[in-house]
């Protein structure tokens, strides 16, 4: 009989097996009763990378779980009497995991995404992110609420209402993208396509003026634009139908609904600084000793609120001259020597102030009339346009 060749097991392979075995979620050798367990999660669609810390000890090596196995692991901790804290970044996976962890009995925090590479090492991995999250979670549980920023989790009904207005925004961006793509095709062949070229009357004229090969390029985009515009109008009607009848002139049903659906709960803010910060319309600041510099807006907070509030500010300059924020800037705003850049800065200032004032109205701190806002009994549709002082010539689309 031939002797079988046995490959010797190297020392490195043995060490790797021992290390992998030590990383398995085995809690039999640990007494977790009364202990505080913190977990930082880097969440993906089919796998979670988890770094665990028990009480004040060092973070343990990262472990990888499927979503189902991870929930079973958390449940084992809770059954053994541990108090479990978890955190993960807000992102495309929504709040389903948060609700599942909360239902099990764990305390979970959905946190604002950030760059966890604080020292600029240019190394980003799931394990490093999970480790930094659990370290920040440890400080947050200990009372340092500046360790990270916690995102307010909406209810399922609030989340569904907000998704409708966000889908409308996506349709609006898709419409703009397709329209710009059509104009780009025209410029490539030395044709300047102006206006809303995809609409029926204009499209018939362009079909007669443009060469056949260019019409064939534009035809699919034209059909897509017509379909998107139909869906966009339907989505806009669904959103604006929920707005109340009595609103300040110039605010608009769509603006009101977007503000309500994005903020969700105006009572979440404790003071005006928190409201202004959430809009992202606060100026950047670089202050040290006697030197102070304030730059453009920092664009932090909810990015969907900024364009809505600035558009509303332009309308308030026209339709609400007695509104206190408008009255403060009106003399400079109507000055012909004021530059367009300065006009934009004033509009941003009014938008930021209006967000604070509307928070006061929605939380019952004051009435709209106390701020100088005119609220008609039966609201009529108000066209959105800029004041004559800064109205520019219509640009070609």
Structure tokens at 10: 């190297």
> pLDDT class for 32, splitting at 50, 70, 90?
confident
Average pLDDT over residues 387-396: 44
> Does the pLDDT of residue 265 top 60, yes or no?
yes
The radius of gyration of the chain's CA atoms, rounded to the nearest angstrom, is 28
Mean pLDDT check: name the lowest of 27-31, 159-163, 183-187, 370-374.
Answer: 27-31
> pLDDT class for 13, splitting at 50, 70, 90?
low
Return the pLDDT at 339: 94
> pLDDT class for 391, splitting at 50, 70, 90?
very low
pLDDT tens-digit readout, 204-229: 999 999 999 999 999 999 999 999 99
Average pLDDT over residues 40-64: 95
> Does the pLDDT of residue 388 top 70, yes or no?
no
> Does the pLDDT of residue 15 top 90, yes or no?
no
Average pLDDT over residues 76-88: 95
> pLDDT class for 33, splitting at 50, 70, 90?
confident
> Does the pLDDT of residue 19 top 80, yes or no?
no
CATH homologous superfamily of 34-141 equals: Ribonuclease H-like superfamily/Ribonuclease H (3.30.420.10)
All structural domains of the chain with their residue ranges: 34-141, 157-240, 253-371
Global model pTM greater than 0.85? no
Return the pLDDT at 23: 47
Q: Are strands 63-65 and 83-89 parallel, antiparallel or unpaired?
A: unpaired
Average pLDDT over residues 366-383: 76
Single out the residue of 50, 47, 42 nearest to residue 24, CA to CA. Answer: 50
Average pLDDT over residues 25-45: 79
> pLDDT class for 27, splitting at 50, 70, 90?
very low
Mean pLDDT check: name the lowest of 72-76, 283-287, 320-324.
Answer: 283-287
> Does the pLDDT of residue 382 top 80, yes or no?
no
Q: Are strands 83-89 and 36-43 parallel, antiparallel or unpaired?
A: parallel
> Does the pLDDT of residue 4 top 90, yes or no?
no
> Does the pLDDT of residue 263 top 80, yes or no?
yes
CA distance 250 to 247: 8
Return the pLDDT at 378: 56
**pLDDT exceeding 70 applies to what percent of the chain?**
87
> pLDDT class for 294, splitting at 50, 70, 90?
confident
> Does the pLDDT of residue 31 top 50, yes or no?
yes
> pLDDT class for 29, splitting at 50, 70, 90?
very low
Return the pLDDT at 1: 47
Return the pLDDT at 119: 87
Mean of the per-residue pLDDT values of the chain: 88
Mean pLDDT check: name the lowest of 18-22, 91-95, 172-176, 193-197.
Answer: 18-22
CA 340-356-251 angle, 5° bins: 65
Return the pLDDT at 21: 41
């Amino acid at each position: 009989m031939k002797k079988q060749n046995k490959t010797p097991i190297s020392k490195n392979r043995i060490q790797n097996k021992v290390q992998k075995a030590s990383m398995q979620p085995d809690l039999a050798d640990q007494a977790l009763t009364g202990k505080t367990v913190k977990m930082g999660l880097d969440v993906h669609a089919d796998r979670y990378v988890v770094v665990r810390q028990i009480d004040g000890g060092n973070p343990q090596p990262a472990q990888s779980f499927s979503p189902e196995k991870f929930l079973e692991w958390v449940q084992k901790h809770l059954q053994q009497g541990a108090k479990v804290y978890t955190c993960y970044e807000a992102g495309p996976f929504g709040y389903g995991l948060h609700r599942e962890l909360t239902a099990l009995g764990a305390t979970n925090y959905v946190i604002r995404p950030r760059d966890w590479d604080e020292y600029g090492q240019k190394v980003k991995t799931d394990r490093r992110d999970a480790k930094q999250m659990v370290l920040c979670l440890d400080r947050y549980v200990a009372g340092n609420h500046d360790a990270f920023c916690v995102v307010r989790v909406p209810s399922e009904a609030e989340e569904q209402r907000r998704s409708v207005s966000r889908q409308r925004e996506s349709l609006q961006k898709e419409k703009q993208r397709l329209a710009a793509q059509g104009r780009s095709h025209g410029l490539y062949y030395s044709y300047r396509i102006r206006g809303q070229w995809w609409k029926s009357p204009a499209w018939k004229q362009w079909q007669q003026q443009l060469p056949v090969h260019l019409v064939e390029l534009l035809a699919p985009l034209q059909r897509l634009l017509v379909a998107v515009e139909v869906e966009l109008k339907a989505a806009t009607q669904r959103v604006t139908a929920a707005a109340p009848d009595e609103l300040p002139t110039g605010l608009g049903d769509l603006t009101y609904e977007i503000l309500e659906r994005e903020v969700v709960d105006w009572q979440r803010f404790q003071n005006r600084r928190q409201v202004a910060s959430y809009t992202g319309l606060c100026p950047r600041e670089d202050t040290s000793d006697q030197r102070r510099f304030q730059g453009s807006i920092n664009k932090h907070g909810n990015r969907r609120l900024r364009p809505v509030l600035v558009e509303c500010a332009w309308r308030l300059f026209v339709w609400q001259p007695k509104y206190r924020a408008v009255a403060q800037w009106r003399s400079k705003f109507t000055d012909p020597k004021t530059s367009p850049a300065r006009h934009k800065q004033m509009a941003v200032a009014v938008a930021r102030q209006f967000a604070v004032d509307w928070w006061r109205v929605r939380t019952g701190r004051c009435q709209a009339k106390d701020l100088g806002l005119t609220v008609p009994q039966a609201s009529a549709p108000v066209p959105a346009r800029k004041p004559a002082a800064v109205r520019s010539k219509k640009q070609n689309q």
